[in-house]
Amino acid sequence: MHLAPALMSYKILIVEDSKASREFIASTVESVDGVEAFATSTGFEALKLLSRQRFDLIITDINMPGINGLELINFVKKSPSYHQTPLFVITTEGRSQDRDKGLALGAAEYLVKPFERKYLEGLLLRYLKSA
């Protein structure tokens, strides 16, 4: 799948504490041409990465120890350098309260596990093209 001209590259931050799930998302993201995935398991690491580097899109889980996904969204949406960056939350079925809070805080999309690779790819294309 082609998204960007050869030299262009989009950077995507993935924050998800389950390893297999993180790698699944990362590999899906990287299957899109011109996209580079940065994956981490904690909100703390995510903050560090955000302070060092620009990201074009952020995908985060909600239930994580330490800084949870909602707190991360809140931080990102208030940060002058990131408030425009599209953000997807990953939720699990049945946790609608958390999901709704995520959307209320400014998440652009939510993904309910389990989701298809195709679905995430579609979302990426839509949001990165308009970025």
Partner 1 sequence: VNVSTKGVSDFVEEATEVLEAVLRELAELDRAKGKPLDPDLLNRIFRAAHSLKGLAAMFGEERIAQLSHHAEDVLDRLRLGRLELSSEVLEALTETMEVCQLLLFETARGEHSAAATARATELGGRLAGFSDQAPPEGADPLDLLELDSQVRNVLTEYEEHRLRENVQQGLAVWKVRAVFDLADFDQGLARLSSKLRQFGEVISTLPSSDPGTGSVIAFDILFGSTVSGDKLKTSLTDLPTSVDALLEGREPPTPPTTPLAARTPPRPPPPPAPEATVPSAPPPQPEKTSEADPRPPSQRPARTAVAQTVRVEIGKLDSLMDAVGELLRVKANVARLAERSGEPNQGARLQALRSELHRESRLLERKLGELQKGILEVRMVPLGQTFDKLERMIRRMAHSAGKEVGLNITGAEVQLDKLILEALSDPLIHLLRNAIDHGIEAPEAREQQGKSRQGLVSIKAMQQGNQVVIEISDDGRGLDPERIRQVALEKGLLSLEQAARFSIAELQSLIFLPGFSTASQVSELSGRGVGLDVAKTNIGQLSGTIETRSQIGKGTTFTITLPETLAVIRALVVSVSGRTYALPANAVLEIATIEQSEVRTVERREVIRVGGRTIPFARLSRLLGLPSQPRARQHVLVVGRPHRRLAVAVDELLGHHDVVIKPLRGRLRQIPGIAGATDLGDQSPVLVLDMGSIAEEDINPESRAEVL
Give the residue with the Cβ less far from partner 1, 7 or 20: 20
Cα–Cα separations (whole angstroms), residue 40 to 37, 59, 97, 125, 126: 10, 11, 24, 22, 24
Least distance from C-beta 35 to partner 1, angstroms? 19
Residue count of the chain, please give it: 131
Least distance from C-beta 6 to partner 1, angstroms? 27
Q: Does 31 bind partner 1 (CB under 8 A)?
A: no
Shortest CA distance to 22 belongs to which of 123, 69, 90, 78? 90
Three-state SS at 38: strand
Q: Are 72 and 65 in contact (CB under 8 A)?
A: no
Give the residue with the Cβ less far from partner 1, 24 or 88: 24
Residues that bind partner 1 (CB under 8 A): 17-21, 23-24, 43-45, 47-48, 51, 62-63, 65-68, 70-75, 78-80, 92-95, 97-98, 101, 104-105, 113-114, 116-117
